[in-house]
Amino acid sequence: MNKQIVVLPGDGIGKEIMKSAVRVLQAIAENFNHQFTFSEQLIGGAAIDQDQSPLPQATIQACKKADAVLLGAVGGEKWDSLPGDQRPEKGLLGIRKELGLFANLRPIKAFSPLLHASPLKEELVNGSDILIIRELTGGLYFGEPKKRIPEENAVVDTLYYTQEEIERIIDKAFQTAKTRRKHVTSVDKANVLESSRMWREIVEEKSKAYPDVTVNHLLVDAAAMKLITNPKQFDVIVTENMFGDILSDEASVLTGSLGMLPSASVRTDGVGLYEPVHGSAPDIAGKGIANPLGMILSASSMLRQSFGMEQEADEIENAIQTTLEQGYHTPDLMIKNGTVVGTEEMTDLVIGNLATNEASKCICNSYA
């Protein structure tokens, strides 16, 4: 199969972990006789430096033509003093919006060798399997007005949703729950926010069309607590953009590290952008120690969800399981008696544990 993949490494560790994902995909291409063509484009701080824009038109056009997009991470101190609409993060929000990627799927399930790597008790973590479905192109991160109001010595951000935006993400949650353990937890702040009250009404109305799926509602503050005191009660969690952003970083502690979490940002036709949950991690960037597994798992999610390559995705996930069983881990994972390795060595080990591990011959501009 011939697939065109746009890669957006971005900033900080984004560049380091993207190399890992591409190398793993090259090995998969070789093993399964696929042709993956990678085209690297600019986003975030790297794009500001080269093109004076966090999301150049060339990047948007390339992403729109691609079969799928891989994204590393954006942001860093260098660009922190820029106005909000010129920051690297604006490029990330922009590409999600441009591609219409309204649903961000964040699976949280610990690999068995990492059950003891969480600061939470192993018996709490063991058996938990959560999918956070975060609304991605609306809500507080996109609503207007969003500005300083100097004449009032004030500031405003806006939480705006159309009914249609809420309906499509709730449908996505119910449809996805049908393929899992058939339970949806909708998380909101309906005791305070009007947007949450409308969200809750839509969940109730939509639930009538999915009689085999059970549903409950939680306020976001209590949900944050329950995520780490009783995570096994959750199957699918669906929530507003900012709530999902925050809860998923919190939930990552179940897996041992934020660096383990992949995500898929999708729309209804299967087109997707695949990105780890974490950011550009400036505190460890350039040190060669970033955990590449969240990025590699995002690539395997791309194979599964955008390309229908189930066996190939399984091979990557099995190779990660084997590598962790062998005791290898990057320093972010607090494991007793393991062997600490860097980003590149971890990538070599995963590739070495693929069913076959010959070097790839795929077409690749900057990763050959």
Ligand X SMILES: CC(C)CC(=O)C(=O)O
Q: Which residues are catalytic?
A: 141, 189, 221, 245, 249
Question: Do residues 35 and 1 lie in contact, with contact meaning Cβ atoms separated by under 8 Å?
Answer: yes
**Contact pick of 9, 54, 56, 75 for ligand NAI (by CB under 6 A):** 75
Q: Indicate the residue among 21 and 354 with the shorter CB distance to ligand NAI.
A: 21
What are the residues whose beta carbons fall under 8 Å from the beta carbon of 329, sequence distance 6 or more? 114, 117, 335, 338, 339, 340, 341, 346
Shortest distance in whole angstroms from residue 186 CB to ligand X:
20
Work out whether 94 is an interface residue with ligand NAI (CB under 6 A). Answer: no
Stretch that binds Mg ion, among 240-248, 262-270, 305-313, 351-359 (CB under 5 A): 240-248
Question: Do residues 174 and 185 lie in contact, with contact meaning Cβ atoms separated by under 8 Å?
Answer: no
Nearest Cα to Cα of residue 320 among 332, 310, 328: 328
Any idea which residue has 């966090």 for tokens? 54
Query: 219 pairs with which residues across the strands?
Result: 188
Binding characters for ligand NAI, 303-332, by CB under 6 A (x = yes): -----------------------------x
Nearest residue by C-beta to ligand X?
89
**Contact pick of 283, 336, 337, 359 for ligand NAI (by CB under 6 A):** 283
CA-to-CA distance for 262 and 93, rounded, in angstroms? 17
Work out whether 73 is an interface residue with ligand NAI (CB under 6 A). Answer: yes
Query: Residue 68 phi/psi, 5° resolution?
Result: -165, 160
In the list ligand X, ligand NAI, Mg ion, none, the entry touching 291 (Cβ below 5 to 8 angstroms by class) is ligand NAI
**Contact pick of 67, 235, 245, 332 for Mg ion (by CB under 5 A):** 245
Q: Indicate the residue among 36 and 274 with the shorter CB distance to ligand NAI.
A: 274
Question: Do residues 176 and 105 lie in contact, with contact meaning Cβ atoms separated by under 8 Å?
Answer: yes
CA-to-CA distance for 261 and 292, rounded, in angstroms? 10
Q: Indicate the residue among 98 and 171 with the shorter CB distance to ligand NAI.
A: 98
> Sign of the CA dihedral 59, 17, 264, 223?
negative
CA-to-CA distance for 357 and 344, rounded, in angstroms? 15
Binding characters for ligand NAI, 329-348, by CB under 6 A (x = yes): ---x----------------
- Binding residues for ligand NAI, rule: CB under 6 A, are 13, 73-76, 89, 92, 258-259, 275, 278-284, 290-291, 294, 332
